[in-house]
A = this chain, B = another copy of it.
Amino acid sequence: MLDERKASILRAVVEEYIQTAQPVGSGHIASAPGVQVSSATVRNEMAALESDGFLAQPHTSAGRIPTEKGYRYFVDALTQPSLDRTATQQVRAFFDQAHGEIEQMLADTTRLLTGLTDYAAVVVGPAHEAAAVRSVQLVSLAPTVVLFVAVLGNGAIEKRTLELAAPADEAVLASATAALNAAANGHPLSAVAAAPAAPDPAVEDVLAVVRAAVVTASDDADHVFVNGASRMAASFEAVETVRSVLTILEQQLVVVTLLRDVVDRGLNVAIGSETGMQPLADCALVVAPYTVDGEQVGTVGVLGPTRMNYPQALAAVAVVGQRLGNRLSEG
C-alpha cells in the first residue's frame, strides 16, 4: 500500500507525535535515524501521505499529526512487540503470587495493567453462565426471604435474594436445596431451571421461585473491573474530554459491550471512531481476549489517548491476557 520510504516516514511521524504530542515537521523527520533523505523530500512524501489520508495538518504552516488511518497503518505494521525486561518480571511476579478470590485477582490485574502502561485498564471476567455449578444452597435470612447461593467451579459465587409468598421452614429449604443440587451439580447455572417438580407443594413453591430467579441473567456488569481512570486526566488537556471519557468508563455495561464488540470484530486495537463511541473519538483501546481451558472467556484491555504507546500497550495486554488465562486454567 505504501512504499518503503513513505512507511518509514509515517512511522517516524507517529512515534515522534506519540512522544511529544506536538505536530511534527519535515525537519525533525529528516534528521531522524532511518531516514536518509532531505527535508524537502520528506515534505513531498508527507504531502502525499496527507492526500492519502494518513496525516493531517492542524493548520497550513504547522507540522503533521497522524490521522486515525495513520495510526491504523502504524499499528498494523508493527512487528509483534515485546515487553521490556522489568515489565516482564513484574508480570511474572504478579501471577506467581496471585491467589485467592477470582474477583480479587481480576481487580488486581487491572492494577497491574495500569501500572505497566499508565493507561486506564479494563478486565472483563468470565461470564458465570458457562461455569459449572459445584454447590447450591438456600439460606433463610428472614421468614419469607431466602438467599440462593451457588458456588461455581471457578470459585465465583452467584447469588439471588428470593422473596417467598409464604414462610418456608428449614426442612422445606433443605429438601429444595437437595433437589437443586441434584439438578445443577456439574452443570451450568441455567440447569437449575430444569430442576424437576417436587412432590411436596411447599418445596415446589420454593423451587418455582428459584427457577424464575435463575433465568434473569446475572448482570454482565458484575464482571467488569476498571482501574486507573485517573490516568485519563493525564492524557488530555481538555477537562471536557476527560469528563466524557470518564462517563463512559463509569457505565460498566457499556464498557463490556465495547470490549466485546472490538474482540468480536477480530481487532486487538480500536482507534478513535473505530470504537464506535463518539466520546472516545480521541481514545484508543487495546484489547486481548484470554482463554481458560482453551475457551475464550474474557478480555483484558487498556484505554488511552489515540496517541498512546501502542507497542508497549499491545505487549502488556497480550502478555497479561496470556498469563491470566494460564493462571485461571490451573486455579
A interface residues (Cβ-Cβ under 8 A, vs B): 99-101, 134-135, 137, 139-142, 145, 147, 149, 151, 153-155, 157, 159-161, 163, 227-230, 233-234, 236-240, 242-244, 246-247, 249-250, 331
Contacts and interface: CB of A to CB of B under 8 A. Distances in A.
Nearest to A104: B219
21 contacts: A99-B163, A100-B161, A101-B160, A134-B141, A139-B151, A141-B154, A145-B155, A149-B151, A149-B157, A155-B161, A157-B159, A227-B250, A229-B229, A230-B243, A230-B250, A233-B240, A234-B243, A236-B239, A237-B239, A242-B242, A246-B246
Given A229-B250, A239-B239, 15 more contacts: A99-B163, A101-B161, A134-B140, A137-B137, A137-B151, A141-B153, A141-B154, A145-B331, A147-B151, A149-B151, A230-B247, A233-B240, A233-B242, A233-B243, A239-B242
Copy number in the complex reads: 2
Contacts of A246: 229-230, 233, 246
Nearest to A153: B141
A147 B139 contact: no
